[in-house]
Structure 1
Amino acid sequence: MARFELLGTATIPGKGSQLRLLQRNDEFSIKIAGSTGELMNSRLHGSEDALATLACERIEDIPAPRVLIGGLGMGFTLAAALGALGEAAEVTVAELVPEVEQWNLGPLGSAAGYPLKDARARVHIGDVVQLIKDSPASYDAILLDIDNGPEGLTRKENDWLYTAPGIAAAQAALTPDGILAYWSAGQDPAFTERLKRAGFSVQPVTVRAHRPGKGAKHVIWLAW
């Protein structure tokens, strides 16, 4: 069996941990240096796709929707959002690590079909938290896949988005009929209640990491 080859490394701002991009044939993997587990694998993206499709189907009647995605990753959420939206849509991806954008413009982009080449896609290099704070009533959908869920794995600063003030900030960045969606590696009933206390109607949806119906069970929270 072929071995993974290292294609690139990047430092996570504010944490110092190193991301490692690896490739084996047509399979890509992103890991944190020193960790035995994977952050992402190009063969396991069913739940990333679902994050986009479940949210975007709720704004399909908006003529020119504006969507914010927190986290570029391997580009699958962006690709699914672009596939679900019309030609007048604008999709902004906030990515903290500049090298991740470059990886998606290079060999990694083939995994999701090079969605960054779509004219509707824009990349904001920076913290999605600050972008949300600076964008009142700006987005018809906000899709957040910046970490492992309510319990951050790669960067503790990400946890703020799952707190009451973070939820309120995301709520303020939505248009009146907007939808907020979060990806998580697992269930968290306390987070569901937190969304409800913020005034949202909430639907946690269990999805599989691999299509069709295989792989680990992940969770998408839809809040409107």
Structure 2
Amino acid sequence: ICKLQRLPISFVGIVSSSRRIAAMSASTGIRPIVFSGPSGSGKSTLIQRLMERHPGCFRFCVSHTTRQPRAGEKHGQHYWYVTEAEMLADIDAGKFIESTHFAGNRYGTSYKAVTDVINSGQIPVLDVDVQGVKSFKAAKLQPPPTYVYIKAPSMTDLEQRLRARCTDDDEKIRLRLAEAEAGNAYADQAGAYDVVIVNDNLDAAFAELDKFLADDVARALAVKASAS
């Protein structure tokens, strides 16, 4: 089983940053939407559809990573690309809600990434693994984020999707499947997520997601209308 190494976060940093997020969320009613689900579940496609359906309502929180940018990726748009030393220092200072170590690189979501989106009047969208979800819950943000899990119909179907992409070797596929099994097991626990959507049919899965987030969209539109 693929075990993700969690990194220590300063309790003082969590409390002060969490209060800042709570204050801004309370004034607008906007709550972050935390997505989780295995690679190959169609999660990214569903999020993209959501953003296209409701332009200006949602915005990705830009995560940090220590890996090198891939072709076409831009600093501050796809990730904040930082050194190992920089990221470890910020984690130790309590600037991250969640962080993880996977395949030799560190990834994480800073409090600032979330507050920047809330300040813009948009709904923060985050895509994290299961351990990231647990870290968000441990941060006790108020009001709490909405947690959404996207699931493939079966592990066999998921493996077929991963192999069809032709982007990962056998070892990476094995790691992704192991991570998916752990993620599905957590998602099956009562109360782990606010909604679990099985993406067997993309149109049906999107309709379910869009309906579930209708109140969040209405709230964001009301905030925009009041600010104009």
Report if TM-score (shorter chain) is over 0.5.
no
Q: Tell which has more relative contact order, 1 or 2 (C-alpha 8 A, sep 6+).
A: 2
Q: What TM-score results when the alignment is normalised by the length of structure 2?
A: 0.32
Q: Which one has a larger percent helix, Structure 1 or Structure 2?
A: 2
Larger Rg: 2
**Structure number with higher strand proportion:** 1
